[in-house]
Chain A
Amino acid sequence: MEDLLAARAQMGTSLAFHIIFSALGVGVPLLLCIAEGLALKTKNPVWMMLTRRWARATAILFAIGAVSGTILSFELGLLWPTYIKFAGAVVGLPFMLEGFAFFLEAIFLGLYLYGWDRLSSRAHWLCSFPIWISGLASSWFIVSVNSWMNTPAGFQVRHGQIVGINPWQAIFNPSTPYETVHMALACYVVSGFAVAAVYAFGMLFRGRRAEYYRKGLLLGMLMALIAIPLQIVSGDFNARFLANYQPAKFAAMEVVYHTQSGAPILVGGLVDTKTDTIRYAIEIPKGLSLLAYWNPDATVKGLDQIPRVNWPDPALVHPSFDGMVSIGFFCLFIAVIFWGLYLLRKRQLPMQRLMLLGVFVAGPLSFIAMELGWMVTEFGRQPWVIYNYLRTADAVTTAPFLNISFFVFSLIYVLLAVALVWLLQKVVHRPLPQVTLSEDGYEVQEPVIEKVGA
């Protein structure tokens, strides 16, 4: 494999792997906080059982998130030294602040996970707040870096030197508000659906109906219901922002080869990059002009206005975008039906097989939507790594053996994924902890086998 391609593949694999854990690392702690709060307030031990079980899974997920994040921070230098020379100078600050946010998250997670026996139940619950708050903060900081790569700001280039750096302007670059909000919401969407899917699976295929399962499903779906409509609205803002600030990406997303007024929306279809055409797409006349500019006759800039060397690949960006949007609407549909049934049936959890199946499917799909969204962002920015300033091809390292490196790291990811899945299914199959109330808060009896491990 060519070195540049190998480096890109390694970077993409690493990010695609990491994002799964970081999204859960942002979303699940909020669920923990809510569940434990409910346990303390309602004195219903089931909430505590859920909290304990999720905490155990979080510990494992967080650790994998941390190691995969470590890989990323090394890779930025090892694979893209020129990029990091540029980015480090300008957006070092958010990287640094992100580091602090991680650190706080790790500290309080340590307290939370290992402090059940030492902390009072109130103090323990309070420890969950810094976890989800700093998780959210860290995602904000890192995504602000990505936004900066999309719409660079806060510096000037003079004689090949970067001067006049303003780190605050760099952090609050034009796309920051759009990207950070959309990503934060994505974290809650995927975490909500992921948790709900686990319990839907238990009900579907293992015949579980106990309160534990119902409450787990309910809380997951609640988070999903709140986040998904906001997600779609915010995505619409992202798209309209791109139409003005990153026309190449927007044109690739919507396969607009020719600048035109009254542009249609093309859904699906096969992009042929040899002839620059798209076939078999469903066409919604004037849709794109309407959505992007609130005017059915507005002119949409096409790829023909951009030199060909600066084109992203519509054959990658367009299907990714369509995939994300369709999944977004599917997830919205599931959440709305679920809560509609719930309210119609006087607060009975809907248990129809088809409904549960839908929830179960929405879990993995929402992750795919998130991955696809990142593909839109990253492939859509090509051939630039820092939009209009640094080409990906110029950023890559001169070090050799990049394909070996890609191969080794891919193996590591496979190894980690297999071990992780194996371990998590053990956690799921373990007998539930027994929770009883006591004057000192909660007494939790973990099943005996657990004692051996911990």
Chain B
Amino acid sequence: MSIAFVALIILWWALMVYAVLGGADFGAGVWDLFALGRNAEKQHDLINHALGPVWEANHVWLIFLIVGLFSVFPTAFSVLSIALFLPFSIVLIGVVLRGAAFVFRYYAVDTEGFFAHSWSRVFSATSLITPFFLGISAAAVASGQLINSSGIPDATDVSSMTTPFALVIGLMSIVLCATIAAIYLVVEAHDTEKDEHLTASYRLRAIIAGAVTAVLGALGLALSISEAPMLWQGMVARAIPLIVVTMVLGLATAVSLFFNHYRLARILIILETVFMLATWGLSQYPYIVPPRFTIANSANESSVIQALVIGIIVGLVFLLPSLYYLFSVFKLPYPVPGLKRREVEKQQQRRPGQKQESALS
């Protein structure tokens, strides 16, 4: 196994983490759009609480991906930068306005005022646009038609991004994000806020969004036969078991939501997303950008990749415990050092109840 392949797996893993964490972030923005009426204030609060401490960390994965890609596959990256200039410029505007909008809204003194309200709208709009164009870009790469056989990229050639396949994948990305977010928010509403009404409403949304994701996914699969033939062939040749697992996981998510096992549903939707991306990865192996750039012909020198991988490992040694600590303090019910005494007591009170629930699921 080449070191470039190891690095690629790490990058793919980062993509999965970004999809699961950042995706939930986008999805929360989508639901923010639908937070209307009597309950709107409560829903905004729920979303703010869920995102507040972690949104910034969630988006560093995207940076990590970009940096990793240009360090490990510099040639492929520079070609992608040109070919995807337009969609990525839009993604960039989306990410930027979204991040800014979230903070502006969060720290606005008057949450009802014009300032907070306008940024709220920006937040929702960009939460729709960004995953859509990310999905389109991914589909364009996967279709193998982004770059013609000469290998010279052309930013004005958007034909591979406007195919029905690309559009369906773009839409599916939005709905998938919405599904992930809805399930996270169900857990949050149920466990932290203990609000029956919100829980029920997000449970319903999760089921509906999940169903739409499944339909779009199936449609994308069908379209790929004619529009992304390389992807399709790779899938048939190597990834059928993964597709089956993905589908089963999707069903299992719906079932566990239906029977109110929210925490289980959260794990299942994470796995589902991971498997979906793994399917894509395995199907287009060994291409980075089909049909021209493979792992072998676009990887950086192996000594450099080795240094990068060592750097990543050293980085992770610092990072993972810190990340675990972050999530423990804000999201997980297990004891960690450094908590206030009264928080520890609160945790202890909460835990027996949760034990029962997990015993049920």
Contacts and interface: CB of A to CB of B under 8 A. Distances in A.
B219 interface: no
Given A96-B315, A100-B318, A419 B104 contact: yes
B167 to A, nearest CB: 22
B75 A85 contact: yes
Interface in B296-310: 300-301, 303-304, 307-308
Contacts, number: 240
25 contacts: A59-B107, A75-B92, A81-B77, A81-B78, A81-B82, A86-B74, A88-B74, A88-B78, A93-B308, A103-B319, A108-B322, A110-B56, A110-B326, A111-B325, A111-B326, A123-B339, A124-B338, A163-B301, A398-B153, A409-B93, A416-B100, A452-B109, A453-B109, A453-B110, A453-B111
Interface in B53-96: 53-54, 56-57, 59-60, 62-64, 66-68, 70-72, 74-75, 77-82, 85-86, 88-89, 92-93, 95-96
Contact of B340 (A69, A119, A163): A119
Interface string A439-454: 0110000000110111
Contact of B63 (A70, A75, A86, A115): A70
Contact of B155 (A118, A119, A398): A398
A73 B63 contact: yes
B60 A102 contact: yes
B301 A89 contact: yes
B274 interface: no
Nearest to A110: B53
Nearest to B346: A118
Q: Which of A77, A102, A120 has the most CB of B within 10 A?
A: A77
B26 interface: no
Contacts of B303: 165-166
Interface of B: 52-54, 56-57, 59-60, 62-64, 66-68, 70-72, 74-75, 77-82, 85-86, 88-89, 92-93, 95-97, 99-100, 102-104, 106-111, 115, 119, 153-156, 300-301, 303-304, 307-308, 311-312, 315, 318-319, 322-323, 325-326, 329-330, 337-343
A97 B318 CA distance: 11
Interface residues of A, number: 83
Contacts of B312: 96, 100
B77 A84 contact: yes
A93 B307 contact: yes
Contact of A118 (B64, B79, B319, B343): B343
A114 B279 CA distance: 37
The 8 closest A-B pairs by CB, nearest first: A92-B71, A123-B338, A88-B70, A100-B315, A399-B155, A77-B81, A399-B85, A81-B78
Nearest to A449: B109
A437 to B, nearest CB: 15
A129 to B, nearest CB: 12
A252 B113 CA distance: 52
Contacts of B62: 70
Interface stretch (A60-68, A298-306, A377-385): A60-68
B155 A400 contact: yes
Q: Which of B92, B110, B153 has the most CB of A within 10 A?
A: B92
B361 to A, nearest CB: 27
A104 interface: yes
Contacts of A163: 301
A99 interface: yes
A166 B307 CA distance: 9
A84 B100 CA distance: 27
B96 A412 contact: yes
Given A85-B74, A92-B67, A165 B304 contact: yes
B77 A400 contact: no
A399 B89 CA distance: 11
A423 B95 contact: no
A168 B310 CA distance: 12
A77 B84 CA distance: 10
A453 B63 contact: no
A78 B341 contact: no
Contacts of A70: 59, 62-63, 92, 95-96, 99
Q: Which of B74, B108, B312 has the most CB of A within 10 A?
A: B74
Q: Which of B67, B74, B88, B322 has the most CB of A within 10 A?
A: B67
A104 B319 contact: yes
B304 A67 contact: no
Contacts of B319: 100, 103-104, 107
Interface in A384-401: 397-400
